[in-house]
Each structure stands twice: as structure tokens, then as C-alpha cells.
Amino acid sequence: MEKYDKIKVVGRGAFGIVHLCRRRTDGALVILKEIPVEQMTRDERLSAQNECQVLKLLNHPNIIEYYENFLEDKALMIAMEYAPGGTLADYIQKRCNSLLDEDTILHFFVQILLALYHVHNKLILHRDLKTQNILLDKHQMIVKIGDFGISKILVSKSKAYTVVGTPCYISPELCEGKPYNQKSDIWALGCVLYELASLKRAFEAANLPALVLKIMSGTFAPISDRYSPELRLLILNMLNLDPSRRPQLNEIMALPICIRPLLNLYTDVGNVKMRRIEKPLSTAQTGTRGRPGGRVAGTRARGGLSSLCSTKMLHSLPVSSVYTWGSGISTPLKLPSMGTEALQVSLGRTQKMGVTKSGRLITWEAQVGSGELSLPAAVEQVQPQFISRFLEGQSGVTIKSVSCGDLFTACMTDRGIIMTFGSGSNGCLGHGNFNDVTQPKIVEALLGYELVQVSCGASHVLAVTNEREVFSWGRGDNGRLGLGTQNTHNSPQQVTVPAELEAQRVLCGVDCTIIISTQMHLLACGSNRFNKLGLDKISGTEEPPPSCQVEEAHTFQPVQSAPLNTEKIVYMDVGTAHSAAVTEKGQCFIYGSSQHGQLSCCSRRNSRVPCLVPGLPAITMVACGDAFTLAIGAEGEVYTWGKGARGRLGRKEEDCGIPKAVQLDESHPFTVSSVACCHGNTLLAVKPFIEEPVAK
């Protein structure tokens, strides 16, 4: 709200509150529609999404202009043009019984006609046209259509079947349950014209059944004979019970009764600010980089703080800790926590981020000048100092998970809304452009969906909804978006998933993507270099011949390499050139490049065949960096192996192909709640282990 000053509340409705505000940059009055997202249903989300999407597509002097939307204090705020003259319904009501002259009626009508013609040309149905949704300027001469909350964008269908709209304005075919099309909007336009001429609604009744009967009969009181026969005939034609006999909008505009008022309009379209028109969403996650966010490791029973038997014990337990190593930090360095508990962490090329228990985004940044050599003769680098801060621009929204890509970040709120910020290159932010954004901004195209998980790769993003729909956007090289092409997309596109499988989690690698289904089966697309996706058809221990090796897939394909194609996979991660998967039994299988020993178990340099990592206890989580691997045991143990340069393994050791434990500075038993590896860095969140009391 830093851009606006609230003046007063000008309306309240089922979806929220309408505020009159003043824009600080130029002092202009604007309308802010405040829609609470705390208790939003899916239908209400779709309604809010429709209004934003439709208003962005429309650009006409007789349609309310859309400015922007943003989240503020757990509410969606839609900023739009202010029409100070009130609604056409108010204007009619103030007339009492004093009828309007025909010229005034037609002056209003042709403006509505032009606006609706523009709407229909964009393949949009308004579906709730009424005098309450038609606004006037301060001189009450210019008409502006608003409230597109339940509009329908016709992408592939020519008709809409949802029963919507104000009952007094719904068409007979909608009363019968027939599909809604442009002719239903023309019926509503006829009702508006009748209301202008008679100062009352064409169809009114004491209850809904009586209203439906009245609409179905098509009977209404005749308008005054002071009006021309042409006007009365136009109303009769628009309110014809047979949709096919109602005139088209271009036919109405060609009528002699409408030509003169159309020519008399002094509408200077050149003065209308032009906006870039964005395409509608085509019909087309994991909190850490490529991993499910906020998952708690371990199979032991764990209770809440209420399971502690005394207040003394409660105060003796520390809060969670976050450690980092790599990029010259050779042993785990505890990061400042600001007195909060980080439940989930994520790493990008330049970002270290986490989500606190209270739902805030926290970021850790190295202090400028830290990590310099302390003395000219020093041979070891001093550990850099990090500062922590809460991210600005969250505006009271509760964050559930965060995922970092290269130079950009995606976060998901507790209400299933995705916000992104950072570099807009490759369209990774999903805002329909390639612009950078400094503070979290809603991905508007997904506003109507309840997202349950989001995952960022280096330059692409995938998200899963609560209804198992999958959307992808960003860079498309190697087919990593799963859309059948290598095209880049700057707004979310729906991904086709095999009908027999339902997406549960998505995992984005540097140049590839994996879906874990609800049945714990794997689907993958993108680069399969070194068979890091497991797309080669392998049934034994022998590597397939080159002719049978899959190099890349542009759509999601079932993983074919045994035992990944038969075991239930509960957790996995993809590195630059290798992958690791954890089965339901706690076994860790690894495959791909082993140039620096990151496969551990394989004597050869590379292995396209998944092999079991020996010597590990039951594993709950894995993470893959550029040339090293990390595994988390069920008891909270942290093991690393592979390339050791610049502290990748969390200990002062060069390349090591044998899993070894990393020592953390914890005085109490702990479990690992979240882990992330990116390039040569690791970020790890741990929390105290609290055991459930055993009932005697």
C-alpha cells in the first residue's frame, strides 16, 4: 500500500471491500478492490483471477481501466480506474418517475454497445451485465463497464455452461440450463436498455421460481409510447426468447436509430493510454531448489513441544539452526537466525533463503569484505560473516515454502498463491514478460488455482495444484518444460500428464524436470545426459548400447531404468550430471556422472545404471550438487561424498568417493528438516529432536 492512501470505503460485497484511494505519484483517485484470500474458495479465486486477466486484455474508453494487483495483509488488491459518477442503477433510481429523453437513452446505450462489442471481439463473455456494473464519469456523460469477476474467456469453447449472473438479467436459455453464449449478453443488454427507457427492470418477481417463469414467458410491461417505434422494436428484438432471432451487436450498430448517436460520440481513442496486451493463460514445486519444501526427515515418532514433561525442559531446548558450507567455507557455519525457527531452506546461485515458523521469508547475505585474507602471510581464508534479514515486500502474507533458481525466487503462500521476484530473464517469473521484479509479485495467471508445491530449476519453474494439475514456464531448452517443444514461455502453461498418473510433487533440475506421482512413480523430461533421469530402458546391471540410450525428452516420459521403474520413490534430487533417489525402504540409489566420485558405489567413472550406495543407514533425504552428493539418515546423520574442492563436503578433504559424516555444532539430539544443494554450496536446517513419551 506504499503507492496509495486510502480515503474511504465506497462499497462492500460478497467478495470483499472497495476502497477509494489516492495514488501518491500523481494524486489521481483510484479504486482498490480488496478481496480477502484467507478464506477464499477455489471458485472465488477463479473469479478474482478472471477479473484480473479480463481487465488486462481489454483497452477501451468505455471499460474501466485496470492498473495492477498485489497482496496486502492477506488480501488481493486490484487497482483500477475510478468512475466518480456512480452506477447507472443509482442514476436511474434518482430519476424517480421522470423518464429520460430518447437521445439520452441512446447516448448511454451506444457507449455500452461499443464496450460490449470490444469485449466480444476479445472472445470474452461478460455474463453479468447489469446497471449496477455500469459506471459513469463525474459529468455522468461517459459510460464505463466494470466488474468482470465472472466473465468467461472463450479459449477453445464457443459456449459457457456455468449458471452465473444476476437473476433479473439472466436469459431464458440459461434458465433452461442451456449453454451461455454472446446472445445471452445481448439479452442482458436488452434488459439494460429496457431499464433506461422505463426506469424499472423488465423482469422482477417476489422469488426466484416466479422470476424464472416470468423470464421464460418473455412478458414484460410495454415502455411508454413517447419513445420511437424503432426503440421499442429494438428492445423487443433483443428480448426475444429465441437466441437465434436476437440481433448481433454489429447489426444493432448498423440500425438507423443507433447510427446518429454513434456519430455524435466525442470519443477520442487517441487519448486512451495503450497498454501491452497479454495473451490469456493457455489451456495448456518443492520448496528447495528441486525438492519438496518443508518435509520433515526421519521415521521416528516426534511430538510437539506439548509432549515435554516440564517447563524447564522446554526452555533448555534450542531453536532450530541453519548451517551452510561450500564456496570456500570448509566446515559447517551456523547462520544467524534472528531468534526464529527456519522450517525450510532453499539455495540459488546467489540466494540463501528460508521460511520461518511464523511464515516469513528470511535471507542470508555475506557481508561485504568478509572472507578476505586476514594477514598478508595467512594461508587460510577467514570464514565469511553472514547477516540475516526478513525480506521486504511480504506485506503480512504467510509464506509456506520457498524455492530458488538462478537469480530469481518463487514462494508459495499458505493459501496456495505463488509469488516470484528477481531476474525476469527467460520468463522465469511467469508474469507474461521478461522484466525484473525486486519484491514478491503474484503470478496472476495462476491466481485461480490453489497451488500445493512449486520447484525452481536454474531457469525454469514447475508448479502443482491441489487438483493435480501441473504448470510450467521459463526456459524450454532440452524440452525441460514438458510441453513437447523447446520454446521458452514467460507465463504458466498447463502440462499434459499421462491420465493414469497424478502429479504429487515436481522437481526441477538444471536442465530437466521430474514428476513424482501419487503412486510414487517417476516421470521425467529434459536432458537425460548420463541417464540422470533414468529414461534408458535398463533391466539388469549392464548399460544399454548407445542406440538405446535416450539423450532428451520433450514430454514427460515414465522412468525406465530398474529399479527406479518398480520401486516406490519417496524422495530424490537431480544434480548437474547425476541423480539420487530414496526408496520407500530407505535405500539410496545413485546414477549418472561420477567424475569426482559422486556416485560412491561405482568403480567406473560414469554409470547409466542406478546402483545402491553401500554402507549407509536408512536414508530419508538426498541432495545433489554439481559434483557431490549429500544424504540424510533417519537419525539425523549427514553424509557427503564426491568432489571436495572449496569445502563442498563440509570438511577439509579433497575428492572422496566414500560417504562420511559431517559434524554439526549441536549439543542436543536433532533431526534435519530441510536441505538444499546448488552448484558447490549446501544449506541445511536442523531442529531439536523431541521424542514422544511412551504410554505405559
Helix, strand, coil percent values for the chain (each to nearest 5):
20, 35, 45
Location of C-alpha cell 551456523: 334
Alpha-carbon torsion (267, 270, 273, 278), positive or negative: positive
Location of C-alpha cell 521416528: 300
Identity of the amino acid at 349: R
Read off φ and ψ for residue 683, nearest 5 degrees: -130, 130
Identify the bridge partners of residue 8 per DSSP, sorted by sequence position: 20
Q: Which residues, other chains included, contact 432 with Cβ-Cβ below 8 Å and sequence gap of 6+?
A: 278, 279, 444, 445, 490, 491
C-alpha to C-alpha distance for 235 and 280, rounded to whole angstroms: 34
C-alpha to C-alpha distance for 312 and 303, rounded to whole angstroms: 17
3-state secondary structure of 570: strand
C-alpha to C-alpha distance for 312 and 307, rounded to whole angstroms: 13
3-state secondary structure of 549: coil
Of the candidates 346, 311, 367, which has an alpha carbon nearest to the alpha carbon of residue 573? 346
Count of CB atoms situated within 10 Å of the CB of 86: 15
Q: Which of 502-525 are b and which e, b meaning 16 or more Cβ less than 10 Å from the residue's Cβ?
A: bbbbbbbbbbbbbbbbeeebbbbb
Read off φ and ψ for residue 200, nearest 5 degrees: -150, 165
Identify the bridge partners of residue 583 per DSSP, sorted by sequence position: 569
With 0-12 / 13-18 / 19 or more C-beta atoms within 10 angstroms meaning exposed / middle / buried, residue 303 is exposed
Identity of the amino acid at 95: R
Q: Which residues, other chains included, contact 43 with Cβ-Cβ below 8 Å and sequence gap of 6+?
A: none
**DSSP tag of 231:** H
Question: Which value, in Å, is the radius of gyration of the alpha carbons in the chain?
Answer: 31
Q: Which strand ranges, in their side-by-side order, compose the sheet holding 329-334?
A: 329-334, 321-326, 681-688, 670-678
**DSSP tag of 693:** P
3-state secondary structure of 10: strand
Quote the cell numbers at residue 324: 551452510
Count of CB atoms situated within 10 Å of the CB of 67: 16
**DSSP tag of 557:** E
Whether 128 sits among the annotated catalytic residues: the reply is yes
Catalytic residue among 101, 128, 477, 665: 128
Quote the cell numbers at residue 110: 451506444
C-alpha to C-alpha distance for 353 and 388, rounded to whole angstroms: 9
Which sequence positions are flagged as catalytic? 128
